[in-house]
Amino acid sequence: MERRKFIICDSACANWGKSDTLLEIIATLKKSSQYKLLCEKPNTEKDKWCYFVDEEKSVVISTLGDPNSAQPKWLEDAAKTNANVIVTACRTRGSSVNVVYDVANRYDYEIIWFNNFHCDDTKLVSLSPMVDIKNIEVNCIINIIELLQ
């Protein structure tokens, strides 16, 4: 039986921290002794495409999720690796969401959708425990990656 493949997609409005969340996941996996970075495509400071492996699975993280960007190519490149897990981002509706559905359908991926935590009140963001909210989110996504078989 072929192993199931998953796209974990952060679907959120513009400027809600999707790329920041995924960049932190990349940084955490780079520091991990469990994952080996096989490929990091030279991209912008804000967006990256990284391919990791461990003993059991392969993971591609593609941070680009904006409409009218290279998101379709980046996601297609991720799917062509046949990675067990792709972690990516998109907006809440429109073309970037359609790209995720299209790639998932064509390459036989199941989609797990999530919205990153967001707080409009900057005073609340600076208060504990909100300070660690991004870290909680990053750890949650990494835990999901670990659980997927």
Q: What is the mean pLDDT of each run of 10 residues along the chain (149 residues)?
A: 87 76 93 93 79 94 79 90 93 82 95 80 55 81 89
Q: Which residues of 69-82 are buried (b: 16+ CB within 10 A; e: fewer)?
A: ebbbebbbbbbebe
How many C-alpha atoms does 133 have within 13 Å on its Cβ side?
A: 14
> What pLDDT, on a 0 to 100 scale, did the predictor assign at position 131?
56
Which of 132, 147, 140, 114 minimizes the C-alpha distance to 12?
A: 114
Neighbours of 139 (CB within 10 A): 14
Residue 122's closest CA among 10, 28, 15? 15
Q: Are the C-beta atoms of residues 88 and 63 closer than 8 Å to each other?
A: yes
Give the pLDDT of residue 1: 61
Looking at residue 110, its pLDDT comes to: 96
pLDDT at site 44:
67
